[in-house]
Amino acid sequence: MVNFISPSILSSDFANLAEECYNVLNAGGDRLHVDVMDGHFVPNLTLGAPILKSLVKRMKEKYATNAYYDCHLMVAEPEKWVKDFAAAGASMFTFHIEATKDPVALIQTIRGHGMAVGVSIKPGTPLSVTAGFGKTDILSMVDLALVMTVEPGFGGQSFMGDMLDKVREIRKRYPDLEIQVDGGVSVDTIKQCAEAGANNFVAGTAIFKAEDWAATIAEMKALAK
């Protein structure tokens, strides 16, 4: 299975966002992880579609780069933002299972707008919730499952190792599904994530606060093999 390192731009210097993104991709980052927070679903406020749109445009015009924009929507009513994120250039739209009453309709809407679909699960949410919508197993309908390994809201928190049970369980049931872990992932924790079955690793602090981004990403990739 292909592994992805997804640097979380939450830990980048927002005043130099495009340059930071360009540099982190050059350092070996595979996909840009864009953390969208609305101050309701989580107690923090970050960025929305207008900033993504400017970033996508600048990356194209100044750096001739079509990056993969993995957007993690930590927002109430994710339905409201599908259109804007698609128009802004999002590649993937990951919503929280806790934030929507009708994930099946939401998944269809996201696909209808040409984006890949991810579904995310907070630490306190049992995996069984994803199977609780009528007869529909949500994980069988998406491109990616995001298992939060911290409480969503902030970068720089400590990794919650017990969340890897969820990763193991998903991997057992879905051998081919992309499984992303997000929160506290670093050179110290990535190996256990990979062994549990994750293949997409979000890292904010561990990469952007490192002295040598390329060396850190290379080390993470080697540990995840």
Contacts (Cβ under 8 Å, ≥6 apart) of 19: none
Residue from the set 4, 5, 10, 145 that interacts with ligand DX5 by CB under 6 A: 10
3-state secondary structure of 193: helix
Q: Contact, 196 vs 1, CB < 8 A?
A: no
Instruction: Mark the segment that binds ligand DX5 (CB under 6 A) among 58-66, 99-107, 123-131, 147-155.
Output: 147-155
Residues making up the annotated binding site for a divalent metal cation are: 33, 35, 72, 182
Least separation in angstroms between CB 186 and ligand DX5: 7
Least separation in angstroms between CB 62 and Zn ion: 25
Q: Is 93 left (phi over 0), alpha (psi -120 to 50) or beta?
A: beta
User: How many residues lie near ligand DX5 (CB under 6 A)?
Assistant: 22
Q: Contact, 57 vs 65, CB < 8 A?
A: no
Residues making up the annotated binding site are: 8, 33, 35, 72, 153-156, 182, 184, 204-205
Residue from the set 4, 5, 8, 55 that interacts with ligand DX5 by CB under 6 A: 8
Taking CB within 5 to 8 Å according to partner kind, which of Zn ion, ligand DX5, none is near residue 59?
Answer: none
Q: Is 64 left (phi over 0), alpha (psi -120 to 50) or beta?
A: left
Residue from the set 107, 117, 119, 203 that interacts with ligand DX5 by CB under 6 A: 203
CB atoms within 10 A of CB 64: 8
If binding is defined by CB under 6 A, does position 72 make contact with ligand DX5?
Answer: yes
If binding is defined by CB under 6 A, does position 182 make contact with ligand DX5?
Answer: yes
Taking CB within 5 to 8 Å according to partner kind, which of Zn ion, ligand DX5, none is near residue 224?
Answer: none
Is the CB of 163 or the CB of 203 nearer to ligand DX5?
A: 203
**3 state SS for 92-159:** EEEEEHHHCCCHHHHHHHHHHCCCEEEEEECCCCCHHHHHCECCECHHHHCCEEEEECCCCCCCCCCC
Is the CB of 59 or the CB of 147 nearer to ligand DX5?
A: 147
Is the CB of 131 or the CB of 187 nearer to ligand DX5?
A: 187
CB atoms within 10 A of CB 101: 9
Active-site residues, by number, are 35, 182
